[in-house]
Amino acid sequence: MEVDLKSFVLGGKFGNIDLGLQKKQIEPSLVGKIIWLNNETKENSRIWKVDSFEFHFEDQLLIGIINDHVSEISSRDLISIKEKWVFEEKNITMDTLQNNLTKLSVDYQKTEDKLGLIHIRLDNGIYFTLESLKNDEYELVVFGKTKVQ
């Protein structure tokens, strides 16, 4: 499956996959090695791991697409990354992310939680989580899409 990460951030679709689809609708796009977490089967696993991405399910419906291996994003076995956008860089700082979102005229909300993590959320459900890893500089550690509350 081919994925354009810039389009995912802007439009919310991960290739031809979007939230709300059933497992049986997604599986044909992910032919190959899928890891069913906790030694479960594809039918009862709540999380499917495909390359560096996780697909989260509730009642057989896709409710989240998450990547918590941001520095490892690359074309692999099942997912071919067509446009990496800001993810070309190995360590993505908050400034880099915000500058790229601003260049695309994307509105976002930025909050900080009690643990000191910075959360940037777009109206389409895309979110970014940044952590202070060194010298008080925040770096992207997680991004994905969840249902908009």
Contact criterion met (CB below 8 Å) for 33 and 78: yes
Whole-number pLDDT of residue 79: 83
> What is the DSSP code (8-state) at residue 88?
G
What's the full length of the chain, in residues?
A: 149
Terminal C-alpha separation, the chain: 28
- β-sheet bridge partners, residue 137: 134
| pTM of the entire predicted model | 0.90
| CA dihedral over 147, 57, 61, 65, signed as positive or negative | positive
φ and ψ at residue 106, rounded to 5 degrees = -95, 125
User: Please, what's the b/e burial string for 93-115 (b: 16 or more CB within 10 A of its CB; e: otherwise)?
Assistant: ebeebbebbeeeebebeeeeeee
**Tens-of-pLDDT digits for all 149 residues of the chain?**
889 999 999 998 999 999 999 999 998 888 677 888 776 787 888 999 888 899 999 999 999 999 998 887 876 767 888 888 998 888 899 999 999 999 999 999 999 999 999 999 999 999 999 999 877 789 999 999 998 65
